[in-house]
Chains A and B, each alone.
Chain A
Amino acid sequence: MLLPTAYLVVRVLDEGVSAWEDITSVAARQAVVRTVALATTVTAASVALGVSLGWLTARTDLPLRRMWTVLLALPLAVPSYVGAYTFVAAFGPRGMLQDVLSPLGVATLPEIYGFRGAWLVLTLFTFPYVLLPVRAALHMMDRSFEEAARGLGASRAEAFWRVTLPQLRPAIAAGGVLVALYTLSDFGAVSILRFDSLSRVIYIRYTSFDRGSAAAFALVLVALSLVVVIGESMLRGKARYHATTRHAAAPVVRLGAWKWPAFAFCTSVVIISLVVPLSVIAYWLARAATDDSASWLTREAAWNSVYASGLAALVAVAASLPIALMAVRYPGALASVAEKAAYTGYALPGITIALALVFFAANYAPSLYQTMPLLIFAYTVRFLPQALGSSRTALLQVNPNTEDAARGLGRSRATVFRRVTLPQIVPGLTSGALLVFLTVMKELPVTLLVSPIGFDTLATRVWSATSEGFFARAALPALLLVALSSIPLLVSVLREERA
């Protein structure tokens, strides 16, 4: 797992002085500033949206609260590059809006490429990362703290700022870190919207065969991600938050005159982040109906996506099982090192993993270069943390006494694993595999860089068709991706609602 970063370091050290010049160059500095600016503003906007919407949907008498709960989580099902595609295909040159407006004499639309576009798109499709934990925390939070504050003479607003908000800090931090990491590692949206953040710069340098500086920039990106991860663990705070007792009903705040403005706020967020993308896709889908090649290409890409994602899901779950077993059943120094190493995949942007593996294969394992096994390996490195999470959870739910009991009944360790442990974890492993499957399906940078030549997936179809301005050809794969991604999301949101 550490191999990609380690190899990047070696590679950059090889370059020596020129790598140092790359890292300290004006271009690098500008890319870092742009990337940090984007990550900061997207995170700030997501926190603002996530906290306000979380509070509105969890604690107030907002009309149609349950509907908003589901709808406001769904933007997460739109991969950033699909979101970017829909915005370009709607508001960009030769886009839907221009199609409609040009007969009316409107020749140019406001520029959507660059910082503003990237910021808007990334915010709109990542804010649920903050919304979901904040809402969960609001549901879990003990109302008695707030009531105690009110009883001590604080107004409702004071109680919110001084009692509720500080208690939400862990949830906001957790969501904010996800948004920041997502933005840092995002490749699809920034490249479609032509915003030169680090990952796009890395890609451009790589494709223009300036591989040494691509590697150097990739290391800078890893460093930024690490800053976020380490910063979060330092800021997490020392206070312990817990509910003393569970109360059945959370207090409902009456919005009064603010009811309809709040309703309009939720409506507009849903329109921009859900209705617009979906209707853009529908518009181009209708236009594509006449284009035979589009559907043929999609069928092949869909099959490739299913095939690669399925393999990656199986391999990732299989690889996660021994690590999870060690961590859960034999906790110790070795297990914790293995687990931590596996989790670094979370902090490593996909493009750096891809780059490292491409370099490595090109230099040391040419027979693997641009092959399926390497692609599957790259996916595994990237998504092992996800598989590990679910394998761990599945194992934690197995009562270790059932394993001991089976051994006491005269069965060997291997038999016990096969007959007692495995049957109990299969459901958990299956849902882990499904999750990895759906995530790999959406993955873009690793697929672009590592896959065999001519290996198109749904994700790369959306990306390349959009880059080339064939909006109609991107519509069907985009729709498929959104539909697939919304399945696990709907399941978990509905489960949370029922709880």
Chain B
Amino acid sequence: MSDAFLHARGIEKRYGQTQAVAGVDVDVAQGRLVALLGPSGCGKTTLLRIIAGFEYPDAGDVLLDGRVLNGKTTFVVPEKRHIGMVFQDYALFPHFDVARNIAFGMPSGVNGRKRVDELLELVGLTGLGGRMPHELSGGQQQRVALARTFAAEPALVLLDEPFSNLDPALRTKVRAEVRQIIQALGTTAVFVTHDQEEALSVAETVIVMLEGRIVQSGPPAEIYRRPATRGVAEFLGDANMLEGHVRDGELSFALGLAAAASTHAEGHAHVLVRPENLALTSDGGVQGVVVGREYYGHDQMISVRLGDGTLLRIRAHAGDDVALGATIGVVLRGSAVIVGE
């Protein structure tokens, strides 16, 4: 038995031929903000809905603060779980105004109007209690949905793709606000996302889920820098995956030699080099030909084919003047990481 606040073990869920969730264990410590990250269709939303009690798992237990929610003989109905869910489409009640939406789940005995005003202030919507949901912008609806969830004083908040319905310009701002609100209240929260940037920038802990299984969890920097598998490495951002060889504690690959982690077995190895860990040089380095250039404004991505056929993507300064077809040197500027299969 784990001392985690939210503890899910051996969760399985199958829809016909598809194994949506294939034996998942999740532990979340109290007060944490956790991202459940994975591509669409990896089973993360199903897992969230199982925790909330909207789906019945085929197998597995869910405990919250030591209380069994799903067990062999136990199933606690959603309304008795004290778990708040914020839906991707916000699911505001269209026939209620903002204030009544927020007041909907308040425990009896709370001074409704006062609490609604407090929550409106918390989410920065003071004075909008009389609006109907359709009169609000996407970002405002999002904040009403949050306020409504918090009003019910949940022990755990689940958010399903909370930012995906916002337009990109607004998204960064809303992310920061939501993070602030959740942390201000000290609530434990798990949010599901398919956007690695979102997971890395918002969460304190990232859980990566691929094909119904959890493949890695840890702090964002750890996950990004030391992905457990090729799958995680490629999902989390631009990745150059190279083949290498470890001998006597030293890794040799297309870009030369590097120290290998002492734990790595001798022999063949997959090597991850992020594009920002490579640099172009006119002086030395491994020689290659520039075969592609994508200009992004703040920087640019240069594709270089090395003599042995290896294709590398290199993040370069926007100002670097690189001509297609030119021969150029590539050097490793940061670390190369050996990852599992």
Q: Is B23 an interface residue, CB under 8 A from the partner? A: no
Chain B contact patch, size range: 20 to 34
8 A Cβ contacts from B83-102 to A: 83-85, 87-89, 91-95
Q: In the complex, A419 Cα to B95 Cα: how many Å?
A: 10
Q: Whole-angstrom distance between the alpha carbons of A402 and B93 in the complex?
A: 6
Chain A residues whose C-beta falls within 8 Å of the C-beta of B104 in the assembled complex: 406, 409, 411, 419
B-chain residues with CB within 8 Å of residue A399 when the two chains form the complex: 89, 91, 94
Given A402-B94, A404-B54, A404-B78, the answer on whether A411 and B89 have CB atoms closer than 8 Å is no
Which residues from B are CB-within-8-Å of A408? 52-54, 78-79, 81, 83-85, 105, 149, 152, 154
Complex partner residue of B152 from A404, A409, A424, CB under 8 angstroms: A409
Q: Is the CB of B77 within 8 A of A409?
A: no
CB distance from B338 to the nearest CB of A (A): 43
Question: Hey, what's the 0/1 contact readout for B178-196 against A, CB within 8 Å counting as 1?
Answer: 0000000000000000000
CB neighbours of B81 from chain A (8 A): 408
Residue of A nearest to B160 (CB): A401
Determine if A102 is an interface residue (Cβ-Cβ < 8 Å): no
Q: Which residue of A405, A411, A423 contacts B85 across the interface (Cβ within 8 Å)?
A: A405
Interface residues of B in 70-122 (CB under 8 A from A): 77-85, 87-89, 91-95, 104-105, 107
User: How many angstroms from the CA of A472 to the CA of B89 in the assembled complex?
Assistant: 60
B54 engages A423 (CB within 8 Å): no
Residues of A within 8 A of B52 (CB): 404, 408
Which residues of chain A are within 8 angstroms of B7 by Cβ–Cβ distance? Answer: none
User: Could you say which of B77, B95, B151 contacts A407, with CB atoms under 8 Å apart?
Assistant: B77
* A404-B78, A404-B85 as given contacts; A409 in contact with B148, CB under 8 Å: yes
Q: Does A256 contact B (CB under 8 A)?
A: no
Task: Please count how many residues in chain A sit with their CB below 8 Å of the partner chain's CB atoms.
Answer: 17
Cβ distance A329 to chain B, nearest Cβ, rounded Å: 12
Decide if A420 is an interface residue (CB 8 Å cutoff).
Answer: yes
Q: Once the chains bind, are B105 and A410 in contact (CB under 8 Å)?
A: yes
Q: Which residues from A are CB-within-8-Å of B95?
A: 423-424
Residues of A near B84 (CB, < 8 A) are 408-409
- Which residues of chain B are within 8 angstroms of A410 by Cβ–Cβ distance? 79-80, 82, 105, 107, 152
Q: How far is the CB of A398 from chain B (nearest CB, A)?
A: 9
Does A412 sit at the interface, judged by CB under 8 A? yes
Q: Within B103-149, which residues are at the interface with A (CB < 8 Å)? A: 104-105, 107, 145, 148-149
CB of A303, distance to nearest CB on chain B (Å): 35
Given contacts A411-B79, A412-B79, A420-B93, contact A404 B87 (CB under 8 A): yes
The answer to whether A401 and B79 touch across the interface, beta carbons within 8 angstroms, is: no
Distance between Cα atoms of A68 and B316 in the complex (Å): 67
State whether A401 touches B89 (Cβ < 8 A). Answer: yes
Across the interface, A405 reaches (CB within 8 A) one of B77, B82, B87, B107, namely B87
A409 and B149 in contact (CB under 8 A), knowing A404-B54, A404-B78? yes
How far apart sit A488 and B222, CA to CA, in the bound complex (Å)? 64
Question: Which B residues touch A406, using CB under 8 A?
Answer: 93, 104-105
Q: Enumerate chain A residues within 8 angstroms of B54, measured Cβ to Cβ.
A: 404, 407-408
> When the two chains form their complex, are residues B91 and A404 in contact, meaning their CB atoms are under 8 A apart?
yes
Min Cβ gap B291→A in Å is 36
Complex alpha-carbon distance, A412 and B79, angstroms: 6
Residue contact B79 to A424, C-beta cutoff 8 Å: no
Which residues of chain B come closer than 8 Å to A419, judged between CB atoms? 104
Contacts of A413 in B (CB 8 A): 77
B94 near A409 with CB under 8 A, answer no
Contacting residues, chain A, for B82 (C-beta < 8 A): 410
* In the bound complex, CA of A406 to CA of B54 (Å): 12
Asked if A401 and B105 sit within 8 Å, CB to CB, the answer is no
* Residue from A402, A411, A424 in contact with B105 in the complex, judged by beta carbons closer than 8 Å: A411
Contact of A401 among B91, B107, B151, B154 (CB under 8 A): B91
Separation of A407 and B85 alpha carbons in the complex (Å): 10
Interface residues as binary, A400-434 with B (CB distance below 8 Å gives 1, 0 otherwise): 01101111111111000001100110000000000
A-B contacts besides A405-B145, A408-B81, A408-B152, 12 pairs, CB < 8 Å: A401-B87, A401-B89, A401-B91, A404-B78, A404-B91, A408-B84, A408-B149, A409-B148, A409-B152, A413-B77, A420-B93, A424-B95
Interface CB pairs A-B, < 8 A, 22? A399-B94, A401-B87, A404-B78, A404-B87, A405-B148, A406-B93, A406-B105, A407-B53, A407-B54, A408-B79, A408-B81, A408-B83, A408-B84, A408-B85, A409-B79, A409-B84, A410-B80, A410-B105, A410-B152, A411-B104, A411-B105, A424-B95
**A-B interface, 7 closest residue pairs, ranked by CB to CB distance from nearest:** A409-B105, A401-B91, A407-B78, A405-B91, A401-B87, A408-B85, A423-B95
